[in-house]
Structure 1
């Protein structure tokens, strides 16, 4: 499984928002950017994708910033990755060979691997990630 830098940054951002708690004021882009080493301009784009997917909400103004749109226990890592990189539904076929039977065997293996990846990403929540990390561990 390949994870893009955009996806890693998105996970860091939602983890930071999850650590804020539901009653905390919105977290500013600059705070997330500086504490996790994410370029601010890139983070803006990522947060717009997350907002479009309904995972975060923004507040304008001097006290504005971003918050999670839902409880972190209800947001899966797969949702975050899909929001920024698109769904991972493209089939991954084995390289074509003269031995079609062997290719089918490999294709079934890749399907099982993809299903296992999806299952882990579906059951891993943003809350679970945030609970495991301390802020100094998050910088890429």
Structure 2
């Protein structure tokens, strides 16, 4: 299972919004794009999808922009991932039309997807923020 650019960029944008959640500060597209090095036009499409799926809200006006729709502790990485990539369900295997080998491969692939989904369900946007802060703190310590 690979992380697509679309999902990675969406998670980066959500991470920026999660960082500002407690202050209530909104971010404009161009701000997020600069902070995370995401092309503006691509980011517009990603944010539109995230807004339609209810993960973020748009705020109109001069100080408008985007904010998370919910607390970052309540948004799992699985929710963000499936928002961008769609639900990845395994098709039912028709035992009459496939070989035993194909069935076995599909069963294992389905099990692998379930394991990946379990990991993504376990972590939230707040967990990403916390891990980022730990990594930043480590970098600062090395340069003192």
| TM-score w.r.t. length of structure 1 | 0.84
Q: Number of paired residues?
A: 131
Q: What's the CA shift for 1:106?
A: 2.2
- In structure 1, the partner of 2:123 is 124
- In structure 1, the partner of 2:44 is 44
- In structure 2, the partner of 1:20 is 20
Decide whether the 8 Å contact of 2:90 with 2:110 is kept in 1: no
- In structure 2, the partner of 1:109 is 108
| TM-score w.r.t. length of structure 2 | 0.82
Which deviates more, 57-66 or 84-93?
A: 84-93
Unaligned runs of at least 5 residues, structure 2? 137-144
- SS in structure 2 opposite 1:24? coil
The structure with the larger Rg is 2
CA RMSD of aligned residues (A): 2.1
Alpha carbons of structure 1 residues 90 and 111: separation in structure 2 relative to 1, 3 Å: closer
- In 2, Cα distance between equivalents of 1:90 and 1:52: 25
1:19-77: CA deviations, max 9, x gaps? Answer: 11333321111111001100011111100100011000010111001110000111011
Greater RCO (CA < 8 Å, at least 6 residues apart)? 1
Correspondence 1:58 to 2:58: yes
Q: Which runs of 4+ in 1 moved over 6 A?
A: none
Unaligned runs of at least 5 residues, structure 1? 94-98
- SS in structure 2 opposite 1:113? helix
